[in-house]
Amino acid sequence: MTEKDNVPGHVAVVMDGNGRWAEQHRLPRLEGHRRGARIARHIVEWAADAGVRQISLFAFSTENWARPKREVEGLMALLATMLLKELPKMQKKGVRFRTLGGIDALPEKARQAVDRACLETRNNKRIDLILCLNYGGQQEIIEGVKLAAKWAATRDDPEQALANLDTDTFRSFLWCAETRPVDLLIRTGAERRISNFLLWDAAYAELYFCDKYWPDFSEQDFLSAIDDFTSRERRFGLTGNQLA
Ligand code: FPP
């Protein structure tokens, strides 16, 4: 598939507001996550249809472990069921499933489902779905620093190697090494925070905030975000004149 002009190659989403949606409808928080999971399924198709090549969804942060045990267990169970159920559709639609984050810490069933989805969809080419699980942007950078120090220690002059370390080389030590930098970062739920999401790779992302709770996010909302993106001038630190 060829790249579409002006469409963000990599869209990242903070799917916020499941809990407040549930509260608003007098439903248990987990019902909010279930509805949210449905929208997560849909957004992958909306993105693929729009010509987006990678979509990263923030499904579970390193901080989310501190939520009530029931909610954490419910989210992990939802992850395992949803992944296995969606696998045939991901195959059919050409979705390559990948993850970012500390997958080893997930409960056995969730980990097995993740491993299976990664393995079985590895040759799909239409769009990458990158589910961020047990993910933290600061943790990703710390792990990158540790790898960079190990790498430097193997060089003839470790001190010089570290002194000359540039952004491209450092990025190769990060979990996101194989994804492209984020072009558009969408956050729902009426909050304006990055919340430790893709700190390195969202350095030049265009930010888009939608006040709706995630379970209410629609295809029209997604297309509005894409439209808004196409109207932005991305300067990457240059002046408008330089770009012209
Ligand atoms: C933030 O809303 C959302 C999450 C912490 C989980 C996101 C998960 C899904 C959309 C479902 C898909 C799940 C998996 C595991 C694939 P919140 O609960 O913080 O909402 P609130 O701010 O209104 O409380």
What phi and psi, each to the nearest 5 degrees, are found at residue 189? Answer: 85, 15
Tokens of 168: 């491209």
Burial of 159 from C-beta contacts in 10 A (0-12 / 13-18 / 19+): exposed
**Rounded to an integer, what distance in angstroms lies between the CA atom of residue 39 and that of residue 83?**
14
Nearest CA, atom 7, ligand 1: 59
Mind listing the pLDDT tens digit for each residue in 102-118? 999 999 999 999 999 99
Q: How long a stretch of residues is the chain?
A: 244
Q: Band the pLDDT of 237: cuts 50, 70, 90.
A: confident
Distance (Å) from CA 54 to ligand 1 centroid: 20
Q: Band the pLDDT of 4: cuts 50, 70, 90.
A: low
Indicate which atom in ligand 1 lies nearest the CA of residue 214.
10
Is the pLDDT score of 224 beyond 60? yes
Distance (Å) from CA 26 to ligand 1 centroid: 17
The answer to whether the pTM exceeds 0.85 is: yes
Q: What fold is seen in the domain 3-135+181-231? A: Undecaprenyl pyrophosphate synthetase (3.40.1180)
- Report the pLDDT averaged over residues 74-103: 97
Mind listing the pLDDT tens digit for each residue in 17-35? 999 999 999 999 999 999 9
For the chain, give every domain's residue range.
3-135+181-231, 137-179
Task: List, in sequence order, every residue forming a beta bridge with 206; answer none if it has no partner.
Answer: 184
Mind listing the pLDDT tens digit for each residue in 151-165? 999 999 999 999 999
